[in-house]
Chain A
Amino acid sequence: MAKKLLDILSERFGSSIVLSTHDQCGDETAVLDAAHWREVATFLRDDPRCKMNMLVDLCGVDHIWDSQRLEVVAHLNSLELGHRLRIKARVGDEDCEGAVIDSLVPVWVGANWFERETFDMFGIRFEGHPDLRRILLYEEFEGHPLRKDYPAAKTQPLVPYREGPDVLGKLPPFGPDEGMVFGRKHLDYMKEED
């Protein structure tokens, strides 16, 4: 059924906008050109053959070894016609520079928090988003933790850690660097660069 959807899309937009399509076990996917992201989304919502009235999810992916590193993925559903579609677009270069894409909030209001989360975790900017702030982390946080080059165990504390006894003379039994070790020190891929 949704194979038909992919045909509708390719027919309507051509191969310069719908870069490729594939379906894996019935999961149809269209890879789009990021510049026409919102245009295609609006078409999918409004066309009587598509009627994608629900944005199920929107997230990011970091393909660290590719020249276009970041990717935005959206999952759409039509409650009326009962079909689903996944659309993807690559943004940014190999250093995540210029990772900007149109916001889908004007199309589906529910995209608001998803896009804030994707911005928070990957640093992808959404053009036209009404309120693009961090949603899960705090303003003081530097970097974007779900990018694959973020050191997995690097914390950015908001309150300075206790080093010695306090006014009541109560000591921490664990040293400042202890806790949560699980022998991760021998894992090379987690090593922090100084």
Chain B
Amino acid sequence: MTPLVEMHNISLRFGGNQALDNVSVNLYPGEVVGLLGHNGAGKSTLIKVLSGAYRADSGQIRVNGQEVQIRTPQDAQAQGIETIYQTLALADNLDAVANVFLGREKVRGVMLDEDIMELEARKTLDRLRVKIPSLRLPVAQMSGGQRQTVAIGRAIYFKARCLIMDEPTAALGPEETQKVHQLIKALKAEGVGIFLISHDLHDVFDLADRITVMKNGRLVGTVYTQDVTHDDVLGMIIGGVMPKNVRPADQPAPRA
């Protein structure tokens, strides 16, 4: 089976700081890969290379086995890669509709087609079942959960093949987090591949088929969730050591 996305030997340096050092990960259709590591491990930087926000110094990206150049966010979007950034990347002064469609507005001629965008945004956000009374208020006036919902809506509206979620539930309460879990499972069933970055081990064990751990810009390794315990994963995150006697996990998890 060819992976949906393969990042191979990606390196990236910020000044004197080697943020990524020969990192390789892959993702298959319909699976969730949990990306774990301490703050500053390089998780956000890695996925920003994939989403076109940063350019790697070296390394390759393949989509469906084809090598691709991802130079800009549009390049990533054209490959069906959508990202929910840790910072949400919302324009706080614009309303929910404008944010969902930012950079990809629907137009009639040169004129923005506000009605269509509002209808479609409403449909998409309803799917997440977080109450947003008015889509026409600046998102600055919304709660953390509502803002996160808008950021998620923005990513799922455009029918991603590969979805990157950088701490998608950080601002959510338990109930809203549950809804995001349901969404992830639904998207997975539709064959979307998902990179999930999270600090919550329970979340990751609940959702991820495989777990990739990074430390100090390097890859510690990738394991099948079913093969490891929380302590094994903590050992990878903190100590940077692979648990003993685990299978190599560069193929999708065998269905249980």
The answer on A and B forming one complex is no
Residues of A within 8 A of B (CB): none
